[in-house]
Amino acid sequence: MGLLFVVFSGFLLALVAPWLTPHTGRAAGWLYGLLPAAITGVLASFLGRIAAGGTMQQSYTWVPGLDVNLSFYLDGLSLLFALLISGIGTLIFVYAGAYLRGHHHLGRFFSYLSMFMAAMLGLVLADNLITFYIFFELTSFASFVLIGFNHDEAPSRRAAWQALLVTKAGGLALLVGFVLMQQATGTFQISALLESGDLLREHRFYLPIVLLLLAGAFTKSAQFPFYFWLPNAMEAPTPVSAYLHSATMVKAGIYVLARFHPVLAGTDLWMWTVGGIGAATMLLSAWLALQYTDMKAILAYTTIMALGLLTMLLGLGTEVAVEAAMVFVLVHAFYKAALFMAAGAIDHEVHVRDVTKLRGLWQRMPLTGAAAGLAAVSMAGLPPFFGFVGKELVYKAATAFAPAPAVVTGASVLANVALVAAAGLLLLRPFRGSVNEITEAAHRPAPGLWFGPVVLAVGSVGLGLAPWLLDHAVLGPSAGAVLGATVEPHLALWHGLTLELGLSALTVAGGVAAYLSWTALHTSAPFQQLERWLGTGLDHGYDHVVDGLLAMGRWQTRLLQNGVLRRYLSTVLVATIGLVAGAFYHYGFFGGPIAVGEVTAYEWILSLLAVGGAVGTLFFRERISLITSLGVSGFSIALLFLTFGAPDLAKTQFLIETLTVILVVLILTGVSQVEGSLTPTQKVANGAVAVGTGAVVSGLVLAVLKLPFENPMGEYYAQKTYVEGQGRNIVNTILVDFRALDTLGEITVLLAAGFGIYALLRLGTAPDPNAENDPAPEDASPQSEPIESSAPEQTPQQVS
C-alpha cells in the first residue's frame, strides 16, 4: 500500500490541481507541498528496513501473458533517489507557489509538476522493464510540457521540442535494449534480472544491450554529444529547471546506469565507454560554463559537469567510486537546487540573470544571499561543507583507479577548478558590492522563495559536519545495490593530511586564479572557439539533423504520395507481381493443371460474362458503358460465389458492386476525359502490368489448389459456433464474437477513412499535389488532373 501511495498520489494531484488551484489563493505552494512531504515521510519510514538489508516488493498483474506487470521494488538505490525526488519536490512545490504566484495557468503548472514527480517516483521504484520504460517516457513528456510552459514564446517551444526529440530517441533505444535483455534472460522483472549478470555479460546480445541502454542514459542525462538540449531547457520557469533539469529528471539516466550496474558493468567496454564519455562531458562542460554570463546557463553547464562526473564514477565501477557517486548525487542535489532557486529569486525580483550586470544584492536579499553563499561554497568543495566530503571521495576514487589514475585524477581536478571559478561567478558577482540601477528595484523576496534554498543550504552544512549520519542509513544500502554486494562505508570530514587534501588545495588555488582571470579567459579566442564548436555548434548540428529528417520526409512523400491515382495503383500491382513472382522463383512453381469436376452450363455462362465484362472495358469509349461493363463482371463473380455455397460473400459482393457502380459514376463524372492522354509506351506498360497481375494471381490460385486441403479452423468454428457463439451463422459469429476485436479495429479504420474522405472533399480547393513538382510526362496533359483539383468550387451544402 505504501509504495502505491508513493507512486500514484502525485497523479491524483495532477488530476485535481487545475480545479483546486483557483480556490487555494496564495497558499497553493505550501498546500500542495504537503503531498511530497507526506511521500517523503512514508519513504523515510522504510529507511530502517532497507538499512537492515531488506527490500520491498509489490506487484499488480497488468498483462500477465507478456510478463508485463505493474510491479514496484524498493532497495537502497531506489530509496535514495525516491527520497531526493520527494524531498527536493517538497521544497520546489513551495517555491513554485511563490515564484508563479498569480500566474493564470498556475493550476496547470502544478498539475504538470505533480505528474512529473509521480512519473519520476514510478521510474525509480519500477520493478518491471516495461513499467520502467513507461515512467521513463512519462518523465520526458512532463519535461516537454514544463519546458514549453510559456508556449507563446518561440524559444520555449523549440527547447521543448528539442528536449523531447532527444530524450525520446534515447527512450526508444532504451526500449529496444530492454526487449533484448528480456530475450537474453527470459524475464522483464528487474529484481530477477539483477541476479543474471554473468549470463548477460556472456550473452551475444551484450554489446547491443549496453550500447542501447547507454544511448537512453546518455541522452536523458545530457552526456556528450547530446548535452545541447539541457542549456536550452533553461527556457522553462526556474522551479522546473531546479527540479527536473538539475536535481531529478536528468539523473534518470544516471539511475539507469546505476540500476543496471550489477548486471552490465565489469567489462572493458563498459568501463571505457561510460568512464570515457563521462570524463569528456565533465571536463568540457565545466569549462564551457565559464563562457556564459547568464546565471541559469552557468548552472546548466555545471549540471552537465556533475552528470558527467557521476557517469565517469559509475564507469570506473570500483567500490569507492560508486560510494563517491552516491554521495555526489546528494551533494549536487543539495547545492544545485539551492543555487537554482536563488538565481530564480533574483530573476523574479529584478528580471535580470546576467552576472556581469548584477551587484550588491546582498543588501536587498540577505537570506537568499546567505543560502546561495552556503550552497556555492559547497559547490566549490570547501570544508566543512558537504561538497568537500563529496570531492574528497571523488579524488580518492580517481587516484585509486588502477588502469589510468593520472588521467582520471587530472580530468577531475581540472573540471573542479572550473567549478570553483563558476561558484565564484554565481556568488561574488551578483551579491558583493553596492546596488546598481538594476538591483535597486529588488525587494525582499516572499518566504516561499527563500525557504527552499535555506533548508538545502543548512543541509549542506549539516551533512558536511556530520557525514557519518549517512553511512548506515543511505550510503551503504544504495552503494551496495549498485555494486551488488554489501559495503560498509565510513564518511568523514577530516581524513588527515592525504593526497586528496593536497589535490583539494590545488583545486581551490586553481579555481581562485581562474576566477580572477575570468574576464580575460572568457573573451580569449580559443575558449570562444570552443564554445562555438561545442556549445552553439552542437545545437546547430541538431538543427541540421532535424532539417535532414524533414527533407527526407518530403522526398519520400513526393516519391510515394505523388497524388496520381494511376501511379499508386501501378506501384501496388507491380509490387504484388514482384513479390509473388519472386516467391515462385524461390520455391519453384508447384501449381499445375487441376482436375475440374462437371462444369454446369450456368457456370460457363457466368464465367464468360465475368471475363467478357472485363475485356469490354478495353473497348468501350463511353463512360457509362465502361461502368456497366465493369458491373457485369462484378455481378457475375458475385453469382459465382453464390453457386459455390458462399451466400454471405455473395451478398456482400452484390452490395459492394452496387455501391461501386454508384461511386464510380459519381467520381468519373467529376473527372474530365482521359482518352488520348496516354502515349503508346504508357499503354504498353499499363497492359504489361495488367497481364502480369492476372498471370501471378492465376498462378497463385493454381498453386493454392495443389496444396493439401486441411481445415482445422473450419472444424473448430463449426463445432463452437453455436455452443460458444450462440449463433448458427459461422461467418457472423466469427465477425462479431470470435474475432470481434479484428472487426472493432476494422470499423475504427472505416470510421477514420470516412472522416478522411469527408475532410478531403470538404477542403475541396486543396492545392494540386503536382503543382510544385515537375509534372511527369503523362500528367502533362491538362485533362488528367487528380480528382480533387478538377472538381468545381466547394458547393454550399443544402441540408434542410
Partner 1 sequence: MRHSVILRTAARLLVPLMLLFSVFLLLRGHNETGGGFIGGLVAGISFALYAIAYGTAASRAALRTTPQQLMAVGLGIAVVSALLPLLGGGALLEGLWVQWQGIKLGSPVLFDVGVYLLVIGVTLVVIYELEEHNPRLFPDVSLG
Interaction site with partner 1 (CB under 8 A): 647-648, 651-652, 655-656, 658-659, 662-663, 665-667, 669-670, 724-729, 731-733, 735-737, 740-741, 743-744, 747-748, 750-751, 753-755, 757-758, 761-762, 764, 791-792, 794-795, 797-800
Distance between CA atoms of residues 180 and 258, nearest Å:
19
Instruction: Check if the beta carbon of residue 609 is closer than 8 Å to that of residue 631.
Output: no
Residue 439 identity (one-letter amino acid): T
- Least spacing, CB of residue 607 vs partner 1, in Å: 23
Instruction: Check if the beta carbon of residue 233 is closer than 8 Å to that of residue 159.
Output: yes
Q: Which of 487, 502, 272 is nearest to 409 (CA)?
A: 502
φ, ψ dihedrals at 364, nearest 5°: -95, -30
DSSP per position, 580-622 = HHHHHHHH----------PPPHHHHHHHHHHHHHHHHTTT--S
Local structure of 318: helix, strand or coil: coil
222: phi > 0 → left, psi -120 to 50 → alpha, else beta; which? left
Instruction: Check if the beta carbon of residue 393 is closer than 8 Å to that of residue 331.
Output: no
- Least spacing, CB of residue 790 vs partner 1, in Å: 10
- Least spacing, CB of residue 781 vs partner 1, in Å: 21
- Least spacing, CB of residue 543 vs partner 1, in Å: 41
Of 612 and 647, the one with the shorter C-beta distance to partner 1 is 647
- Least spacing, CB of residue 741 vs partner 1, in Å: 6
Of 488 and 648, the one with the shorter C-beta distance to partner 1 is 648
Residue 170 identity (one-letter amino acid): G
φ, ψ dihedrals at 63, nearest 5°: -125, 75
- Least spacing, CB of residue 628 vs partner 1, in Å: 14
Cell representation of residue 200: 548477460
Residue 80 identity (one-letter amino acid): L
Distance between CA atoms of residues 342 and 345, nearest Å:
5
- Least spacing, CB of residue 731 vs partner 1, in Å: 7
Cross-strand bridge partners of residue 57 = 73
Distance between CA atoms of residues 392 and 495, nearest Å:
9
Of 54 and 647, the one with the shorter C-beta distance to partner 1 is 647
Distance between CA atoms of residues 618 and 689, nearest Å:
14
- Least spacing, CB of residue 641 vs partner 1, in Å: 12
What HEC string does 50-80 produce? HHCCCCEEEEEEEEHHHCEEEEEEECHHHHH
- Least spacing, CB of residue 688 vs partner 1, in Å: 32
Distance between CA atoms of residues 541 and 58, nearest Å:
44
Number of helices (H), then strands (E), in the chain: 38, 2
Of 59 and 660, the one with the shorter C-beta distance to partner 1 is 660
- Least spacing, CB of residue 674 vs partner 1, in Å: 16
Of 434 and 798, the one with the shorter C-beta distance to partner 1 is 798
